[in-house]
Structure 1
Amino acid sequence: MNNTKPVILDFADEVITIKLNRPDALNALDLSALLALNHAILEAANTPGARAVILRGEGCSFCAGGDVAAMHANRSDLPAYINTMIESFHSSVMALRSIAMPVIASVHGSVAGGGISLALACDMVLAARGTRFVTAYAQLGSSTDGGLSFWLTQRLGAARAFELLTLKSTMTAEDAMEMGLVNRVIDIESLDVESQRCARALAAMPRQAITEIKSLTTSQRKEDLLAQLAREKAAFLRCAATPEFAACVEAFMKRRF
């Protein structure tokens, strides 16, 4: 196994684990990671004998969202680069929603921007105590992607979604569970064990029943999600073309270094 890959896929006991593997970058998603993620999800969906999936991040965080450093490196043609990133990201989101098996997001550390979108695209979210969810988009001068505006509005209503995406951009794991965005909050030491336990419990249930239950609880909104992803992409690209977005990216890089 090549541990330098941006995404690693493991398979044991009927459970596939997809690991985001850019720990030095807090598993931020650049184009190579997004392409690898999409490939891993499709491979998981077509693995004989697989009955459940866990999505997790290596290192100290689940996912810090889109890689702002990669955006900065591609600033000479930023809208085109972001267009390609969003297309790949949205393909991964739809692949997660379309996979017949149950998918569990096992999150810890920082879950920011697109990282929240990834987590909420899964069927269940287990979060370590101390996890911080940060929407981050408005602070970067952009709108949402990955369906985050869809998930938040569906689950919380328009007013609370707007507030979380603007003025109240940070949530604890407990906040997120109270809002219905997280299923359980677990001590960090037990997160992997509990994620595996839940995945194996689901894998042991009748396959057709689980497939049908997932379909019944998700498929009725798939067309709405597709339409919202298209709107998010168009809105993000309009933001990416503004001087404010470029200034926010520059400011982020100065704070980082």
Structure 2
Amino acid sequence: MDTQEPVRLDVDDEIATITLNRADALNALDFPAAVALQRAIDAVAAAPGVRALVLRGEGRSFCVGGDVRAMHAHRHELPAFIARMIDSVHASVMALNRLPVPVIAGVHGAVAGGGLSLALACDMVLAARGTRLITAYAKLGASADGGLSFRLAQRVGVARAFDLLTLHTTLDAPQALALGLIDRVVDADRADAEARQCARALAALPAQSVRELKELTAVQVRAGLEAHLAREKAAFLRCAATADFAARVAAFAEGDRRAA
């Protein structure tokens, strides 16, 4: 497969691996990447021999969320562009939830905004030491998407979720583990290997047992998550229509260009 594709899918020995592959952009999600991710997850769902999925990011970071440069490039149709992006990311989140096989995120570097949403959409999250988990939305003048507000409240409680989304927006891996936001901290540069080892251990268990246990745990949140994603989209679009959001997107994109 072309290594320049924004998302890669590889299957080896019953383990599927989806790699976010925009390393130069820290795996920020633009629209092609969001669509490619959705298609890769759908392909895993259709592959009968797959017993577990690993989600990872190429390069220095797992994923820094939505591509703010792409947002700025579409500033004259920003709410419509945001709506298309959110629909695609939300489809991926629900597809991960519906997969009959377990999904393990192996994260490192910066895990921000929509990237954190994707990680928390997985059944388990393994983070390398040095990982920074960043909610990011409030500083951009936006609200959460990708189910992040749902997953944060589910994992750490309502009050702490609001705090993490507004004031204390950055956590290191040990802090996130202490809060129950992630499941394991592993040695630096070991997130991929540990995630794959975890996937192999799950794949070695009886497939029907794993499938039923995932369904029993996922079904409790699926209906609530789907409704919540619609609320997140509506809230984000209200933010995207404000002058505040447009100004902060522009400032971020222009600052990013100067730093490049």
Shared fold per TM-score greater than 0.5: yes
State how far apart, in whole Å, the 2-side matches of 1:145 and 1:185 are.
25
Following superposition, the deviation at residue 191 of structure 1 comes to 2.2
The residue that corresponds to 1:173 in the other structure is 173
The residue that corresponds to 1:37 in the other structure is 37
The residue that corresponds to 2:47 in the other structure is 47
The residue that corresponds to 2:235 in the other structure is 235
The residue that corresponds to 1:196 in the other structure is 196
The residue that corresponds to 1:160 in the other structure is 160
Which amino acid is 1:229 matched to?
L
State how far apart, in whole Å, the 1-side matches of 2:174 and 2:14 are.
30
The residue that corresponds to 2:150 in the other structure is 150
State how far apart, in whole Å, the 1-side matches of 2:140 and 2:189 are.
33
State how far apart, in whole Å, the 2-side matches of 1:221 and 1:17 are.
25
Following superposition, the deviation at residue 190 of structure 1 comes to 2.5
Asked if the contact 2:124–2:183 (Cα under 8 Å) also holds between the matched residues in 1, the reply is yes
For residues 38-117 of structure 1, the aligned pairs below 5 Å read 38-117=38-117
Following superposition, the deviation at residue 254 of structure 1 comes to 2.5
The residue that corresponds to 1:128 in the other structure is 128
User: What do the CA deviations read for 1:181-237 (whole angstroms, capped 9, x no partner)?
Assistant: 111111123222211111001001000100011011111111110111000000000
User: What do the CA deviations read for 1:232-253 (whole angstroms, capped 9, x no partner)?
Assistant: 0000000000000001001102
Asked if the contact 2:71–2:81 (Cα under 8 Å) also holds between the matched residues in 1, the reply is yes
Asked if the contact 2:107–2:192 (Cα under 8 Å) also holds between the matched residues in 1, the reply is no
The alignment of Structure 1 onto Structure 2 pairs a total of residues equal to 257
The residue that corresponds to 1:27 in the other structure is 27
State how far apart, in whole Å, the 2-side matches of 1:48 and 1:226 are.
26
Provide the TM-score with structure 1 as the length reference: 0.99
Provide the TM-score with structure 2 as the length reference: 0.98
Which amino acid is 1:125 matched to?
V
State how far apart, in whole Å, the 2-side matches of 1:196 and 1:96 are.
17
State how far apart, in whole Å, the 1-side matches of 2:110 and 2:190 are.
18
Which amino acid is 2:27 matched to?
N
Identity %: 61
Asked if the contact 2:56–2:192 (Cα under 8 Å) also holds between the matched residues in 1, the reply is no
Secondary structure of the residue that 1:188 maps to in structure 2? coil
State how far apart, in whole Å, the 1-side matches of 2:196 and 2:249 are.
38
Which amino acid is 2:146 matched to?
G
The residue that corresponds to 1:183 in the other structure is 183
Cα root mean square deviation, aligned: 0.7
